[in-house]
Amino acid sequence: MSKLTLDLILKSQGFGTRKWCRQLVSEGEVSIAGITITDPRTAFETSGLVFTLFGEEWIYREHVYIVLNKPADFECSRKPSHHPGVLTLLPEQFTWRDVQPVGRLDHDTTGMLLMSDDGAFIHAQSSPKRHIPKVYVATTHDPVTPGLVELLLAGVKLHDERAPLAAVSCRKLDAHRLEIVLEQGKYHQVKRMLAAAGNHCTALHRSAIGKLTLDALGLKEGEWCYLDEAQQALLAPGL
């Protein structure tokens, strides 16, 4: 367990600069176990620490692991150019603690987006060597045919790839929707594979990563939640 002064605890949790956090404590805005703390140099064990700031309870987290049900027309960038960034959907302190998306979804793609301030977690989840399956539901311009599903399972050649790319699994959901599971995570992969197979993707939604599904989390579009250790384990089961 580690012990930190209260001003450093607040800073680490994304509540501003150390100077600002000292001021918050000095002005009596922070309490622990119902006791108002006014000395920012007071030290506390961080493990399991719960503190109240502006009347709201917060649990100390060394790192945050978040899943967001991303709506359309949000960019997965800390410096968005044409649409609002996904960080605007989260509390402001997550920007201060350098939370960032794990990989990217296109601005018009919806669904499961992981976010964290843990560099090792981001690298592990992004690494193609781990072969983490990601489940997408694609809406197509032309009807979904058995031939289209067969092509996606067999593999289609993209102009900038040496070898054909194939879906791990693919199945028709209805006349214009299919579920496709990929491991590679190439740029615009689902859209490009559908185009190479002679169809066009009109909408795309990521419904699961590994064995963790949005349905199980019960998140509506724009909602987010912390991931506990058991949920994190579902992201890459068996790895």
Give the pLDDT of the chain (239 residues) as one tens digit per residue. 589 999 999 999 999 999 999 999 999 999 999 999 999 999 999 999 999 999 899 999 999 999 999 999 999 877 777 888 899 999 989 999 999 999 888 889 999 999 999 999 998 888 777 888 999 999 999 999 999 999 999 999 898 888 899 999 999 999 999 999 998 878 889 999 999 999 999 999 999 999 999 999 999 999 999 999 999 999 976 54
Out of 3.60.20.10, 3.90.950.10, 3.30.70.580, 3.30.200.20, the CATH code matching 65-128+212-235 is 3.30.70.580
Smallest CA-to-CA distance from 98 within 106, 87, 89 is with: 87
pTM: 0.89
Buried residues in 128-152 as b, exposed as e (16+ CB within 10 A): eeeebebbbbbbbeeebbeebbebb
Q: How many CB atoms lie within 10 A of CB 182?
A: 22
What does the pLDDT read at residue 161?
80
What does the pLDDT read at residue 82?
84
The CATH homologous superfamily of the domain defined by 3-59: RNA-binding S4 domain (3.10.290.10)
Contacts 24+ apart (CB under 8 A), 153-161: 156/193, 156/196, 156/197, 157/196, 158/186, 158/192, 158/193, 158/196, 161/186
Fold match between 3-59 and 65-128+212-235? no
Render pLDDT for 64-78 as a digit per residue (tens, 0 to 9). 999 999 999 999 877
Interatomic CA distance for residues 223 and 119, integer angstroms: 23
Active site (catalytic) residues: 106
What does the pLDDT read at residue 162?
82
Query: From residue 177, how far is each of 117, 145, 174 by CA, in Å?
Result: 35, 10, 5
Phi/psi of residue 103, nearest 5 degrees:
75, -165
What does the pLDDT read at residue 188?
87
Q: Is 19 helix (H, G, I), strand (E, B) or coil?
A: helix
The mean pLDDT value of the chain amounts to 92
